[in-house]
Amino acid sequence: MTQINTLIAENTEYVINLRRYFHMHPENSGEEFQTAIKIEEELDKIGIPHHRFGTTGVIATLSGNPSSNRTILLRADTDALPMQDEKTCDYASQTPDIMHACGHDAHTASLLLAAKVLKRTESDWNGNVKLAFQPAEEIGHGALELISANELANVDAVFSLHVASSMDSGLIGVRSGPMMASCDSFDITVTGRSGHVSAPHLSIDALYTACSIVTQLQSIVSRKVDPIESAVVGVGVLHSGTSYNIVADNAFIQGTTRAFTHATRKLLNESVTRIAENTAAANGAKVNIVFKDANAPLINDPEWTTRMVNACSREFGEESIRSDIPQSLGADDFAELLALRPGVYMRVGTRSAADPNTAVSHHHPHFDIDETTLIKAARLFILAVEENGNL
């Protein structure tokens, strides 16, 4: 719509300044206290009612033309990462050892711009909108807090997006069905019995048992998962032992599983448990396994994906949309919302040839974005509202 695009363009400086504010004042997952206050201040200026969920989550609501009673939830994550910002720019993080190295500052600013425009054009779109400014995405807790607060009640569809340094500025990426993997972590504690290495038969070697478990875990993907399907079982930590001549009486293993379907996720986690228990038993050791469920696989609804691809093609041109981007073994807790409601998650390219910092990977100390793409992200949020109102 002409009015919407005009309003977005008129607020370019507004959204850039907001993004830079959030970039300069990052907060770690679960500690987004000042971020939430700033979001609430902006919503008050716009005139949109809001309330908290959890401790640092913010929900705002607004309604358009009552010809539709459908409700869509738009989500932006708000947390930063525990790492030092090494950029030399006037909007670099002012908080030591914390920075927005993933782009959540951009998501928050773009959703606030979308909110401002949606408020000004309430008669031009149909249905209802919930704006979810969600904390703690990086640790996989924020979406579950939102769900626990019953914020999905009466919600018909959900939408979110993420900036992408892997794509040229202005390009939009999506794929139907599984797009990102699940992410679970596991802690395995092995308990044996110590003794002198010269008499191994009198002890139970926890280190040997742990090494056997790690080796056997590598067989899960190669022997239990369909070769056509991608999956990961990885071990990143193995601690054991105190001296070269003491049989270790305990060992600690920490790893992760990743999968693109709910069924494969279940298979991987059950296999990790079975292998750890059986290997420990075979060596006379004991084992304790603790799984930490972070994220479900992110699976886009096919109908919603098609609707948004078509809407983006009409709005930005077919050349701007990539509708079959590669799957990613990374994770996003927006997957928890998509597991309960239909919707779609999209990527917005932010890589500019003019600034090498926009081409580095996410979670890099020089991470930055091409800020001209903030208005496209805001328009994407509004396109989702329009599509929801047309159903």
Confidence at residue 294, expressed as pLDDT on a 0 to 100 scale:
82
Mean pLDDT of 41-53: 98
Residue 228 pLDDT greater than 70, yes or no: yes
Could you say which of 27, 79, 105, 145 is catalytic? 79
Which residue in 81, 73, 149 sits closest to 111, CA to CA?
73
pLDDT digits (tens, 9 = 90+) for 298-347: 999 999 999 999 999 999 999 999 999 999 999 999 999 999 999 999 99
Characterize the bridge pairing of strands 157-168 and 343-351. parallel
| 130/390: higher pLDDT | 130
pLDDT digits (tens, 9 = 90+) for 244-301: 999 999 999 999 999 999 999 999 999 999 999 999 999 999 999 999 988 999 999 9
175 with 200, same domain: the answer is no
Confidence at residue 58, expressed as pLDDT on a 0 to 100 scale:
98
CATH assignment of the domain containing 255: 3.30.70.360
Confidence at residue 287, expressed as pLDDT on a 0 to 100 scale:
98
Q: How many domains does the chain have?
A: 2
- Residue 137 falls in the annotated catalytic set: yes
Could you say which of 27, 137, 249, 336 is catalytic? 137
Of 271, 295, 319, the domain-final residue: 295
177 with 187, same domain: the answer is no
Confidence at residue 146, expressed as pLDDT on a 0 to 100 scale:
98
61 with 176, same domain: the answer is yes
Confidence at residue 137, expressed as pLDDT on a 0 to 100 scale:
97
- Residue 370 falls in the annotated catalytic set: no
41 with 96, same domain: the answer is yes
Of 295, 323, 339, the domain-final residue: 295
267 with 370, same domain: the answer is no
Mean pLDDT of 348-359: 97
CATH assignment of the domain containing 301: 3.40.630.10
Of 295, 325, 344, the domain-final residue: 295
Query: HSE (CB half, 13 Å, CA atoms) of 180?
Result: 23
User: E-strand spans in the chain?
Assistant: 50-53, 57-63, 71-77, 128-134, 157-168, 172-173, 177-180, 183-191, 195-196, 231-240, 246-247, 250-259, 286-295, 298-300, 321-322, 343-351
Mean pLDDT of 142-153: 97
152 with 193, same domain: the answer is no
The pTM is what?
Answer: 0.93
Residue 1 pLDDT greater than 70, yes or no: no
350 with 260, same domain: the answer is no
176 with 187, same domain: the answer is no
94 with 10, same domain: the answer is yes
46 with 125, same domain: the answer is yes
Residue 2 pLDDT greater than 80, yes or no: no
23 with 160, same domain: the answer is yes
72 with 133, same domain: the answer is yes
- Domain boundaries, position 346: 2-181+297-390
Confidence at residue 293, expressed as pLDDT on a 0 to 100 scale:
83
Confidence at residue 175, expressed as pLDDT on a 0 to 100 scale:
98
